[in-house]
Amino acid sequence: MARPVRVVVLGSGSWGTTVAGLAAQNTPTLLWSRNKEIADEINIDRRNHRYLGDRRLPETLRATADINEAAHEADVLVVGVPSYAVRAALEPLAHELRAWVPIVSLTKGLEPGTRLRPTQVISACLPGHPVGLLSGPNIASEIADGKAAASVIAMQDDSVGTALQPLFASKLFRVYRNTDVLGCELGGILKNIVAIAAGMAEGLRVGDNTRAMVLSRGLAEMTRLGEAMGAHARTFAGLTGMGDLIATCTSPASRNRRLGEALARGLSVDEAVAELGQVAEGVRTAPTVMELAREVGVEMPIAAEVAAVVGGHRSPADAYRGLRRVTPGDEEDVV
Ligand SMILES: NC(=O)C1=CN([C@@H]2O[C@H](COP(=O)(O)OP(=O)(O)OC[C@H]3O[C@@H](n4cnc5c(N)ncnc54)[C@H](O)[C@@H]3O)[C@@H](O)[C@H]2O)C=CC1
Ligand SMILES: O=C(CO)COP(=O)(O)O
C-alpha cells in the first residue's frame, strides 16, 4: 500500500497553524515554527496560545523547529509566513526539497522591494516546483473554531490541484479549484488594501452606503488591475476575489480592517501595527500596488488613498474627502 502524502507547513502564525490543523485531519502533517517554544507547546499542549488562544489542535498534528526535518519530510510544502519573510523562510530549503514537491502559498501580500507575488518569490527560490496557492474568505480564528468555510486551490496544472484538494478539504472546509493562479493570488493580496479603507470607514462612522461603495468600487479597481496584468475578470467575482473582500472588509476579526479602524482612532501606522501584534499585509502592500498600477497604467483611487494614509501623508478623514473628488465614469468600464 502506498504511504500517505506528508504535508509540511512553514510558519506557525494564526493561518499557518490553522491550515496545518486542517491537513492533519486528512494526512500526516508537520508544522515548522522558527520558535521552538511554540513547536513544543503544540506537541505537548496541542495549543498555539500566542496566535490561536485556547483553541485545541488535532492530536495528529506534529510541530518542529528543525528546518532540515521539515525539508526532508515534505511531499507537499505549504508556505504560511508573511510576504516579507517568504524568501528568508525558503532559502534554507534550496537543494533540500525533492524536485517534484508541489508548493502551496498561503501568503497574501507582495514582497517589499521586488514587488513579486509570493508564488513568484517561491519559484525564484525553488525553481522547477509546481507552485500555486490556497486562498479564499478564510478568517483563521473562525476556521479554527470549526465554522464552515470555502477556499480555492489555484494551480496552473489542474491535475496537481485535483491531487491537493483532498489534503485540505473537510465537510466544514470546502476546497474548490481554479487554474487562474494570477487572478486568485491578486484577489487575496488586493482585498487587504480595501479592508484597511473599510476599517477606516467603520472608525469614521461614514455610514453603510459609503462602506458598500468602497467595497464595490474596491472590487472594480482590483479587477481592473488584475485584467491589465493578465488575470481573468471572472476570477474576481469568486471566492478569492469578492468572497475574500466581503469577509475581510466586514469581519471585526480581520487584522487589516482593525488596522484601518485604529488609524481612524488617530493612531499612527506604527502604533496601529504594534497594537495589532500580527501581520496586516495591506500596510506594506498598498504602496507597492500603486507602483504596479502606475506601471500598467491603471487607476486605483481607493488604493491610492490607503497608500497615502499608511505612508503618513494623509489622515483617514482626508482620504475619504479625497475619494469624493474622484470623477465617476462609466461603471462597467473596468479596463
Ligand atoms: N490569519 C488569517 O486569517 C489569514 C492569513 N492569511 C495570510 O497568511 C500569511 C501569514 O499570516 P498569519 O499566519 O495570519 O500571520 P501571523 O502574524 O499570525 O503570523 C506570522 C508567522 O510568521 C512567522 N514568521 C515571520 N517572519 C518569519 C521568518 N523570517 N521566518 C519564519 N517565520 C517567520 C511568525 O513567527 C509567525 O509565526 C499572511 O500573508 C496573511 O495575509 C491568509 C488567509 C487567512
Ligand atoms: O485573508 C484573510 C481572510 O481571508 C485574513 O485577513 P486579515 O489578514 O485582514 O485578518
Per-residue model confidence as pLDDT tens digits over 238-264: 999 999 999 999 999 999 999 999 999
Question: Across the beta sheet with 61-64, what order do the strands follow?
Answer: 61-64, 29-32, 7-10, 76-79, 103-105, 131-135, 149-154, 173-178
The pLDDT confidence band at residue 333, using thresholds 50, 70 and 90, is low
Q: Is 298 helix (H, G, I), strand (E, B) or coil?
A: coil
Reply yes or no on whether 171 is catalytic: no
In angstroms, rounded to a whole number, what is the distance separating the alpha carbons of residues 121 and 154? 16
Phi-psi region of 211 (alpha: psi -120 to 50; beta: other; left: phi over 0): alpha
The answer, yes or no, to whether any atom of ligand 1 lies below 6 A from the CB of 186, is no
CA of 253 to the centre of ligand 2 (A): 8
136 marked as part of a ligand binding site = yes
Cell numbers representing residue 24 in the block:
492533519
Q: What is the ipTM of this complex?
A: 0.98
What distance in Å separates the CA atoms of residue 20 and residue 105, rounded to the nearest whole number? Answer: 13
Residues lining ligand 2, judged by CB closer than 6 Å? Answer: 108, 137-139, 192, 195, 244, 247-248, 254-256
0.90 exceeded by pTM: yes
Q: What is the rounded average pLDDT of the residues 100-121?
A: 96
Dist CA 292 CA 224 (whole Å)? 12
- Which atom of ligand 1 is closest in space to residue 16's alpha carbon? 13
For a pocket test of ligand 1, which of 106, 147, 259 has the largest count of ligand atoms closer than 8 A to its C-beta?
Answer: 106
Is 13 known as a binding-site position? yes
Q: Which three cell numbers stand for residue 133?
A: 496557492
Which band of pLDDT confidence, cut at 50, 70 and 90, is reported for residue 335?
very low
Q: Which H/E stretch holds residue 263?
A: helix 255-264
Starting from the CA of residue 141, give the closest ligand.
Answer: 1
Helix axes 316-324, 301-310, angle to 10 degrees: 160
Contact at 8 Å (CB) between 221 and 331? Answer: no
Q: Write out pLDDT tens, residues 156-191.
A: 999 999 999 999 999 999 999 999 999 999 999 999
CB 201 within 8 A of CB 211: yes
Domain annotation for the chain: domains and CATH numbers:
7-179 (3.40.50.720), 182-324 (1.10.1040.10)
